[in-house]
Amino acid sequence: MTTSHYAEFERATRQYHLLGSIESLLDWDQETCMPPRGVEQRAEQLALVAGLAHERLTGDEFATALGKAERNGRVDEWASATNLREMRRRMERARRLPTELVRETAKVSSLAKQAWARARRESRFELFAPPLERLLELKRRAAELIGFEGEPYDALLDEYEPGARSAEVAAVFDELKKALVPLAAAIAKAPRKPDVALLSRYCPKESQAEFCRRVAAALGFDFQSGRMDVSMHPFCSGTCPHDVRITTRYDERFLPAALFGTMHEVGHALYEQGLDAAHAGTPAGQSVSLGIHESQSRMWENFVGRSRPFWEHWFGPLTQQFTSLAEVRLDDWVLAINNVRPSLIRVEADEVTYGLHIMLRFDLERRLMTGKLAVRDIPQAWNDGMRSLLGITPDSDANGCLQDIHWSMGAVGYFPTYALGNLYAAQFFEAARAAMPDLDDHFRRGSYAPLLEWLRRNIHRHGMRHRAAELVQAVTGRPLSAEPFVRYLRAKFEPLYGINA
Ligand code: ZN
């Protein structure tokens, strides 16, 4: 009897997930191959499926099935315990938000996106301020309804990084800041300067596509369970471990966009392909959080893909593939792809300064949520923050507080997961290295299976069994800290730039 209660709950959970996977597929199609004029029908299709999924999750039928399974469930087994815990959390969150608030947020957000696009084009923050103000009011209301123990921001952060607390994140970021600011300054004064011009040499699109597919396959991307296509903004969309789609984009005058963009998305895809297919469609077969997801993409893109051992294997194939790079020296290539320079735009930031961009947004978002910062004062606060963290001042709001789309989508609480990704990656990578001291030798031979197997065994296979903080503790034996990332940056960049920061 008890098994059938659980089976009923699991069936309902999988159906809810199936609706979500249909939404992802419609999204993927829209970004990769939908004709432009299909956009209106697509919006209707997406709204319909999203509505159905929301109804499923918040309806009485699901609540009853979950309740029965909880009372009679097989909670002794980790996967069912994970599924019950996580679906309870998602349902409660969704049920606390009245349909009217969800609809209003979607409406304001769609207006805000248009206002943001125009404001950025014309670099006029005042065009974006009114809808942003309205959106933040709705977010504050949502936070109150969802509930929180610490501060309102926690309720929003929890959507992307379940269980994370703003105050704890802030403490780790502060620790990180103390190391990043002087390291970036020391690199800026270093005598060794990368020749970044070589990155803009002509590399034909077809050759880039061929090379990127070779790299993706070598890292372990399974093309029988995945696809690689082109989109304006690269992303990874996984609906189950056997259907994982990544995209990239090609710039013939800037090879790193496709090259490292592909490795980044492959990192996300390896996580999705490594989830346990037996638990597909349930939290036991889903990723922990955005931060843990980002740890996988950044590990493959930066820790592996921008390392010297990686290029000791791939530099030969690279210079054969692209005649414009034939005369380049390996050392110059490695230094160029690791160019560190304070810059205005987050998505173009290097490994050292990236975290500082996130700290700025995190600080502003927290202050906006408590009302300590008014929307009209964002441009000034942004510029002050850029000066104190990166030592540069934006020439315009377009290159300052208007550069990211996130706020216009109502995605408040999302940014910290990017920086957390770097920290998780470093702590996992350090543990992987300790377990496999010959990891660099494997990379020199173009062998990635040992690292991938380690990630599969320690992270991927567990789905949402652990919260991010518990996973870090379980895998590395320590709570999250900025130290491994700082150690990693110093060990890499000090010799590269010939400095001692
Ligand atoms: Zn990513």
Residues 113 and 179 occupy one common structural domain: no
The residue from 90, 113, 147 where one domain ends is 147
Instruction: State the average pLDDT for the chain.
Output: 95
Residues 50 and 142 occupy one common structural domain: yes
Q: Are 183 and 351 in contact (CB under 8 A)?
A: no
- Within-domain flag for 128: yes
Q: Are 346 and 357 in contact (CB under 8 A)?
A: yes
Helix, strand or coil, per DSSP, at residue 463 = coil
CA of 280 to the centre of ligand 1 (A): 21
Q: Are 250 and 260 in contact (CB under 8 A)?
A: no
Residues 388 and 484 occupy one common structural domain: yes
What distance separates the 2 farthest-apart alpha carbons in the chain? 73
Instruction: Give the model's pLDDT for residue 368.
Output: 97
CA of 75 to the centre of ligand 1 (A): 33
CA distances from 102 to 19, 99, 108, 146, 408 (A): 18, 5, 10, 13, 15
Instruction: Give the model's pLDDT for residue 103.
Output: 85
CA of 326 to the centre of ligand 1 (A): 31
Q: Compute the distance between CA of residue 412 and CA of residue 90 in angstroms, rounded to an integer.
A: 18
- Within-domain flag for 460: yes
Q: Compute the distance between CA of residue 363 and CA of residue 343 in angstroms, rounded to an integer.
A: 19
Q: How many CB atoms are located within 10 Å of the residue 77 CB?
A: 12
Residues 133 and 203 occupy one common structural domain: no
- Within-domain flag for 319: yes
Instruction: Give the model's pLDDT for residue 99.
Output: 87
Q: Compute the distance between CA of residue 375 and CA of residue 377 in angstroms, rounded to an integer.
A: 5
- Reduced 3-state DSSP string for 55-66: HHHHCHHHHHHH
Instruction: Give the model's pLDDT for residue 186.
Output: 95
Residues 132 and 220 occupy one common structural domain: no
Residues 206 and 268 occupy one common structural domain: yes
104 has catalytic annotation:
no
Helix, strand or coil, per DSSP, at residue 161 = coil
CA of 418 to the centre of ligand 1 (A): 8
CA of 268 to the centre of ligand 1 (A): 7
Measured torsion, CA atoms of residues 104, 107, 108, 113, in degrees rounded to the nearest 10:
150
Q: Compute the distance between CA of residue 294 and CA of residue 315 in angstroms, rounded to an integer.
A: 26
CA distances from 50 to 43, 155, 306 (A): 10, 22, 39
Give 10-residue mean pLDDT values along the chain (501 residues).
Answer: 82 97 94 90 89 94 96 80 96 93 88 92 97 96 95 96 96 97 95 96 98 98 98 91 97 97 98 97 97 98 98 98 97 98 94 97 97 97 97 96 94 97 98 98 98 98 97 98 98 95 72
> Which residues fall inside 5 Å of ion ligand 1, going by CB?
297
- Per the structure, the complete domain to which residue 126 belongs is given by 3-147
CA of 32 to the centre of ligand 1 (A): 18
Residues 211 and 345 occupy one common structural domain: yes
Instruction: Give the model's pLDDT for residue 501.
Output: 72
Residues 92 and 128 occupy one common structural domain: yes
Instruction: Give the model's pLDDT for residue 1.
Output: 45
Q: Phi and psi for 431 in degrees, rounded to 5? A: -65, -40
Instruction: Give the model's pLDDT for residue 110.
Output: 84
CA of 365 to the centre of ligand 1 (A): 20
Residues 215 and 110 occupy one common structural domain: no
What phi-psi label fits residue 478: left (phi over 0), alpha (psi between -120 and 50 degrees) or beta? beta
For the chain, what is the domain count? Answer: 2
The residue from 120, 147, 174 where one domain ends is 147
Residues 384 and 235 occupy one common structural domain: yes
* Catalytic member of 10, 86, 161, 265: 265
Residues 99 and 181 occupy one common structural domain: no
CA of 11 to the centre of ligand 1 (A): 30
- Within-domain flag for 158: no
Residues 190 and 133 occupy one common structural domain: no
